[in-house]
Amino acid sequence: MADDALTITPWRRKFVAICLIALPVVVAGRALVLQTERSDKLTNAGHDRYTRQFDLQARRGMIFDRNNEPLAVSARVYHVFADPGVLQWADEKHAGNESENKSKVAQILGLTVAELDNMIANSTSPRYTVVARQVRPAQWAAIRELSRAQGVRGFGVEHKERRYYPAAEVMSPVLGFTDVDGKGIAGLEQTVNTALSGQSGKVVQIAIGSRDTKVFEPVHMSKARKDGENLGLTIDLRLQHVAYRELKKHALRHKAQSASLVAVDVSTGEVLSMATWPADNPNDPEMKTKGVIVNRPALTTFEPGSTIKPFTILNALESGVYNANTMVKTSPGILRVDEFKVRDTKNYGDLTLEGILQKSSNVGAAKIAIALGPEAVWSMLDRFGFGKSSGLNLPFESAGRLRDWNNWYRADLMAAGYGYGLSVTLLQLANGYAGLANGGVSTPPLLVKGALRSPRRAVADPKLSAQVVQMMRSVVVEGGTGTRAAVLGYSVAGKTGTSLKQINGEYRTGVYQSLFAGVIPATQPKLAIAVLVDEPASGEYYGGLVAAPVFSSFATEAMRLLNVTPDLPEQIEQMREKEREALEALEEEPGNE
């Protein structure tokens, strides 16, 4: 028994031994390769069979106006996808209904059968192809019903949102809009996209059990969603509606290219209205490809022309060289500086500072500018925020242009005195007037409640600023250029402006921009309002004729809506008296029964 092992040959043992020892060596080699090489080719193939992942889309924050009127809201919609891997048009019980069910599905989704077939056939992924976007809940419910009743299988949805803008084109230039994926791509939607978006979460589930008994369990890689913040704007939707209506009416009346208005609360810097016409409706699906939405008040720059003169006058007073009674000689109504000529519409003779504003004398403003020197003129405009970003950070917002005074020629200095050679936005102009009316305290504008902004700064003497505001009242009364800006019951201080429009750096004859900027009530300023009517083509183009009436219509309604007490109640009384007399006169006439 002892040597029975010799009855077998040892080579067989050796063979088996070598094989069994070689195998672990191979495994060790494999481990060595796997764990020392870095490669991406092994990632993600076939995960979907064992895990599935759902994105939890965060709800986009809503946008409200200052009185909590909704301006942008999100509604639940679905992106419907097909899974060609499990697609089935009817279960066994309803075999034969396949083509009927398919046409029903296509109809629900607003597609033709051919389009549906095409999308499924051309799917780039074997398990997923989106067949319809932004499908309403009722449509998806109808498909679910088909699936219950007929066994239609292979459709799923991704939860998405669709953005609606109740105020449509009235607010669209300010708000901008979102793309199909809900990302802000214009206006405030873009500026504050991060806060509005929140953070999406995800549920990762893993399959447990065999193919037939598979159940899904969430694993710890899941993440809760964080909804976006709601935003409140300083805009008053009521004023915005009035502004849009008046801009549209007057722009059409004067056959203008566009018209814009900005209204700023004088004491807080809050933008109560920022409107422009024309604008398209962002709720219209075609708008995103073809439409025009330009927030002109913040984007478009223009030469402010005469509307800059109040700052020139304030500068004159601050210098100490001029006072309210100083007479400036403007005759003969033309001033030559180097090869440059400055003209007034007529020879106004000697004018006080108030007279320069009232008559809008270019010669007077130019003479003051030359007397003050470039540094002083530049500094005044700079302090009131011209040539600098407003801080609202709107997409493509312009800072305007105010060149460094070191590079000014004498002609530039003189032009700056009456608003040429620099460009501003309407927002800057309204904000500059607000600073003037607020006792020379410049407050950065505010559009989103609670947003951070730079501190307000006292940039001019309060008494002198108030004095300039009072001088500006003369513009709107008999003998001024802006009488049509008057508002019954309220004092208005303002300035007209009519500038030749530069197109590609050249002034074109007969192409104007009509301006009016002012504050109301002038005795205790509440609003600073700037109006621009671009390229009026009706034959009238003076700011006092084209832009001032927009100011008047808007301000009249704004005072009522904001419950501002009339500071000139006697005007209303007089008006009523006149009406009564006229009525009595009419009733006394015979034959009018």
Partner 1 sequence: MISFSRVDTSILGRWWWTVDRWLLASLLLIIAVGAILTLAASPPVAARLHLGTYHFALRQFSYLPLALTVMIGISLFSPIMIRRLATVAFIGFLILTASTLFLGSEIKGAARWISFAGLTLQPSEFLKPTFAVVAAWMFSEWRKDTNFPGHFVAVGLYVVVAGLLVAQPDFGMTAVISAVWGIQFFIAGLPVFFVVLVAFVFLTGSMVAYTFVDHVKSRVDRFLDPTSGDNYQITRSLEAFQNGGLFGTGPGEGEIKNVLPDAHTDFIFAVAGEEFGLIACLIIIGLFATVVLRGFARMFREDNLFVLLAVGGLVTQFGLQAVINMASTTHLMPTKGMTLPFISYGGSSLVSLALGMGMLLALTRRRAGGDL
Closest CA to 105 of 123, 79, 131, 83: 131
**Please, which residue, 16 or 477, has the CB nearer to partner 1?**
16
Q: Does 138 bind partner 1 (CB under 8 A)?
A: no
Q: Does 26 bind partner 1 (CB under 8 A)?
A: yes
Q: Does 86 bind partner 1 (CB under 8 A)?
A: no
Nearest distance, CB of residue 26 and partner 1, angstroms: 7
Interface pick for partner 1 out of 86, 130, 208, 582 (rule CB under 8 A)? 208
Interface pick for partner 1 out of 55, 217, 350, 573 (rule CB under 8 A)? 217
Task: Report the Cα 255 to chain-centroid distance in Å.
Answer: 25
> CB under 8 Å to 333, separation ≥6 — which residues?
343, 344, 345, 346, 347, 348, 363
Nearest distance, CB of residue 58 and partner 1, angstroms: 24
Nearest distance, CB of residue 42 and partner 1, angstroms: 5
Structure tokens at 259: 């018209």
Q: Which residues inside 146-165 make contact with partner 1, applying CB under 8 A?
A: none
Q: Which residues inside 220-259 make contact with partner 1, applying CB under 8 A?
A: 220-221
Structure-token match 């927030």, residue found: 295
Q: Does 3 bind partner 1 (CB under 8 A)?
A: yes
Q: Does 403 bind partner 1 (CB under 8 A)?
A: no
Q: Which residues inside 48-77 make contact with partner 1, applying CB under 8 A?
A: 49-51
Distance CA 543, CA 309 (A): 14
User: Of the listed 123, 258, 273, 306, which one is catalytic?
Assistant: 306
Q: Does 12 bind partner 1 (CB under 8 A)?
A: yes
Q: Does 30 bind partner 1 (CB under 8 A)?
A: yes
Structure-token match 């060609």, residue found: 84
Closest CA to 364 of 334, 392, 396, 394: 334
Interface pick for partner 1 out of 17, 224, 292, 321 (rule CB under 8 A)? 17
- Which region, judged by CB under 8 A, interacts with partner 1, from 60-68, 90-98, 216-224, 469-477? 216-224
- Is 273 known to be catalytic? no
Interface pick for partner 1 out of 96, 124, 138, 210 (rule CB under 8 A)? 210
Nearest distance, CB of residue 99 and partner 1, angstroms: 30
Task: Report the Cα 88 to chain-centroid distance in Å.
Answer: 47
> CB under 8 Å to 264, separation ≥6 — which residues?
270, 271, 272, 430, 431, 433, 434, 445, 527, 528, 529
Q: Does 206 bind partner 1 (CB under 8 A)?
A: yes
CA distances from 196 to 59, 60, 182, 227 (A): 8, 5, 10, 8
Nearest distance, CB of residue 224 and partner 1, angstroms: 18
Q: Is residue 225 within 8 Å of 200, Cβ to Cβ?
A: yes
Closest CA to 56 of 148, 159, 208, 138: 159
**Please, which residue, 204 or 564, has the CB nearer to partner 1?**
204
Interface pick for partner 1 out of 38, 148, 290, 336 (rule CB under 8 A)? 38
Q: What's the chain's Rg over C-alpha atoms?
A: 36
Distance CA 71, CA 457 (A): 32
Orientation of helix 410-417 relative to helix 362-372, angle to 10°: 120
Q: Does 2 bind partner 1 (CB under 8 A)?
A: yes
Residues forming the site for partner 1 (CB under 8 A): 1-10, 12-13, 16-17, 20-21, 23-28, 30-32, 34-39, 42-47, 49-51, 206-210, 212, 217, 219-221
The catalytic site residues sit at: 306
